[in-house]
A = this chain, B = another copy of it.
C-alpha cells in the first residue's frame, strides 16, 4: 500500500510522502533527531519574526507524555498510546509589543508544518490532532492566559496497521483525498476559477 499523494503536478517527495498515520512503532526517537524537528520549526517564518510557537514535549511515557495523553479524547488515546512522542503546541496570543497577534495560529501551523517535513526527512511520521481538551491542557501544564494550547502532535516511526483497533484499520489503508483545484484557486474574485487551470 502506498499513501503517496496522487498529484497532477509533481511535488517534492518530502511533501508527497507525508501523511498522518495512526499505527506507530514503540521505537524511540534519538535526541539529535528529535531536536532537529524543533530546529526546523524554529526557522519557520512568522509575522514580524514574532515566533509565537511553544512546544511541550512528552517523550517515552515520561510525566509530560502522560499529562498530554490524559487531555486527549478517548478515540485518540486508543492509538496514540503506542507512539514514542506526544507534543502539545501552544501559541502566544499577543505580539512582542503586547498587541493582539491576529496571525499567531497561522504562524504556529506553519512551524508545525516545518517540523513535519523535517520529520519526513528522517522517515518519521507526524499526526496532528485537535481532539484534546485545551482547558485540561491549560490546567495540567499551567499555561498562562497570554498563551493558547492549539494542537497535540504525535511523532514516531510507522507501525503495522494490524496493531490498530479494527475501526481504524480501514482509514489507515484508504487512499488520501483532497478537493480539486477549481474549488480553491481563484482569480478576479473569490470563487472564480483561476485561468491557470484553463490556459
Interface residues of A (CB under 8 A from B): 5, 7-12, 14-16, 18-20, 31-32, 34-36, 38-40, 42-45, 47, 49, 51, 53-59, 62-64, 67, 90, 102-103, 105-110, 112-114, 116-118, 121, 128, 130, 141-144, 147, 150-151, 176-179, 181, 184-191, 194, 196-197, 199
B8 contacts A39, C-beta separation under 8 Å: yes
Interface of A is mostly: mixed
CB-CB < 8 A to A109: which residues of B? 103, 105-110, 113
| Cα–Cα distance between A102 and B11 once the two chains are bound (Å) | 29
| Cα–Cα distance between A43 and B191 once the two chains are bound (Å) | 20
A178 contacts B42, C-beta separation under 8 Å: yes
User: Closest CB of chain B to A184's CB: distance in Å?
Assistant: 5
* Given A109-B110, A190-B54: A103 and B42 interface contact (C-beta under 8 Å): no
Closest Cβ neighbor of A12 among chain B residues: B121
A189 contacts B142, C-beta separation under 8 Å: yes
Task: Pick the residue among B64, B118, B177 that contacts A11 (CB under 8 A).
Answer: B118
Question: 13 more A-B contacts (CB under 8 A) besides A35-B197, A54-B184, A102-B130?
Answer: A8-B35, A11-B36, A11-B39, A19-B45, A34-B196, A43-B178, A49-B177, A55-B185, A103-B105, A109-B110, A141-B189, A141-B190, A144-B190
B190 contacts A147, C-beta separation under 8 Å: yes
* Given A5-B43, A14-B117, A15-B118: A181 and B106 interface contact (C-beta under 8 Å): no
Closest Cβ neighbor of A16 among chain B residues: B43
A14 contacts B11, C-beta separation under 8 Å: no
Interchain residue pairs with CB less than 8 A apart (23): A8-B39, A11-B118, A12-B14, A12-B117, A14-B117, A15-B43, A15-B117, A18-B43, A31-B199, A38-B184, A42-B181, A42-B184, A57-B185, A57-B186, A59-B196, A64-B187, A102-B130, A103-B150, A106-B112, A110-B113, A113-B114, A142-B191, A147-B190
